[in-house]
Amino acid sequence: PESVCEDPFFEGKREDEQAVIERARTEFDTDAIATYPLQPGEIAGPDLLSDVSGVIYDGDEATVDVGTATNVDPDQSVDIDALADPESVAEQLQPDEGTRYLFFTGKGGVGKSTVAATSATKLAEAGYETLVVTTDPAAHLEDIFGEPVGHDPTSVNRENLDAARIDQEKALEEYRTQVLDHVHEMYENKEDTQLDVEAAISNVEEELESPCAEEMAALEKFVSYFQEDGYDIVVFDTAPTGHTLRLLELPSDWKGFMDLGSLTKGAAPSKGDQYDEVIETMQDPTKSSFAFVMSPEFTPMMEAYRAAEDLKEQVGIETAFVVANYLLPEEYGDNAFFANRRAQQEKYLGEIKERFETPMMLAPLRRDEPVGSDELSAFGEELTGLSELPKKHEEVMIS
């Protein structure tokens, strides 16, 4: 709300917000955009819900006084500094032996891509050969780094740091080529087969037009990053939690599709072993770390918690640490509105710590989103554990 933005930090945040709203009007070519002001507390209870519906559906003005203090229970406040455990977070980011795989996931809009890119930047600065990959079609690594990011790993103008994004169309084309080449190789010059090879190939081509093929293509590309040579660390900026769980469950489903009748059974065992090895790597805490990113609010926290439980029960992967993003700065927003917002954040920070029982990386709300490796590096100094990363130990050759 404009009335509570009383300093350059929050005045700037509001200007950015209004610019996005105007851009949405232009992009969608409509003036029919309803907006509702951020409240000092959570939107819960019949009075607030009625207020929201009146604004959205009836064109009413919001009636809640955002400048009025709400009841804050002092017993729910926590010592934020005491929640930070930089050494434990740093341990989860570094490789022991071989390549380390880091996964950042969570609800859409919680800052996964920025946290993943920032972590990758600081790891590269520490001397680790690092690759950051996004599996999220909606991700914007290219905008974050200010450099082109394509289907194959390329440098983003930072020593030791490459980036890539899975291009769904290219991944599907690669997968189609791989499957069809295999089919042709299997039955090339085999005149004694009882199988109508041309009809079988036609069936395969038809199967490769299905949505299942798109999922398998994404999985195939995902698996390929576990076979990249030369990296100490691979950082995955994953799709929102539901999509990520679906991707990780695919290896248990894949044989029904990949068999394609009896045509490609010869390849099934090796593929199955390959996928199993990837899942085993992700389940191994000495090789992989899975982190849930969230803002300290009820819905992002609960979605992350349920997804973490599903990940453990369905795939056998434990959460290594959590990231609490968008923490309000103490030096700005000196009024009742932001005092209540901070108190709400503190309440959920305490609950996040109790629910997850893992180390916590804390990330502050910034005036501007970091863009480019220099700004990402500076932002990394403010994230728990990233400034504590030790430099990579170079091997000493003794002649």
CATH of the domain at 302: 3.40.50.300
Select from 59, 76, 93 the last residue of a domain. 76
CA distances, 19 to each of 25, 218, 344 (Å):
10, 35, 27
Does 7 share its domain with 141? no
Select from 14, 42, 76 the last residue of a domain. 76
Domain assignment of residue 210, yes or no: no
Does 251 share its domain with 237? yes
Handedness of CA 119, 124, 128, 134 (dihedral sign): positive
Does 18 share its domain with 95? no
Domain assignment of residue 229, yes or no: yes
Q: Note down the domain range covering 26.
A: 2-76
Q: What's the total number of domains in the chain?
A: 2
Give 331-373 pLDDT, tens digit per residue. Answer: 999 999 999 999 999 999 999 999 999 999 999 999 999 999 9
For residue 294, the model assigns a pLDDT of: 96
Select from 46, 76, 106 the last residue of a domain. 76
Does 8 share its domain with 108? no
Does 30 share its domain with 160? no
CA distances, 290 to each of 102, 152, 172 (Å):
6, 23, 27
For residue 42, the model assigns a pLDDT of: 87
Average predicted confidence (pLDDT) for the chain: 85
Domain assignment of residue 206, yes or no: no
Domain assignment of residue 196, yes or no: no
For residue 144, the model assigns a pLDDT of: 95
> pLDDT > 70: what percent of the chain?
84
225 or 233, greater pLDDT: 233
Does 242 share its domain with 98? yes
The Cβ-side half-sphere exposure at 89, using a 13 Å CA radius, reads 24
Above 80 in pLDDT, residue 195? no
Does 64 share its domain with 131? no
The confidence band for 399, taking pLDDT boundaries of 50, 70 and 90, is: very low
Give 158-185 pLDDT, tens digit per residue. Answer: 999 999 998 888 888 888 888 888 777 7
The SS3 assignment for 139 reads: coil
Does 153 share its domain with 259? yes
Does 320 share its domain with 308? yes
Domain assignment of residue 158, yes or no: yes
Domain assignment of residue 251, yes or no: yes
Give 51-90 pLDDT, tens digit per residue. Answer: 999 998 988 888 777 766 555 565 666 778 788 889 999 9
Buried b (16+ CB within 10 A) or exposed e, 21-45: eeeeeeeeeeeeeeeeeebbbeeee
Cα-based torsion angle of the residue sequence 347, 350, 351, 357 in order, rounded to the nearest 10 degrees: 170
Does 40 share its domain with 86? no
Does 260 share its domain with 347? yes
pLDDT, average across residues 196-225: 78
pLDDT, average across residues 128-144: 88
The reported pTM is 0.87
Domain assignment of residue 353, yes or no: yes
For residue 94, the model assigns a pLDDT of: 93
CA distance 339 to 333: 8
Give 294-320 pLDDT, tens digit per residue. Answer: 999 999 999 999 999 998 998 899 999
Residue partners of 67: CB distance under 8 A and separation at least 6: 3, 4, 335, 336, 337
Domain assignment of residue 204, yes or no: no
Does 108 share its domain with 253? yes
> Residue 363 phi/psi, 5° resolution?
-135, 125
Above 60 in pLDDT, residue 255? no
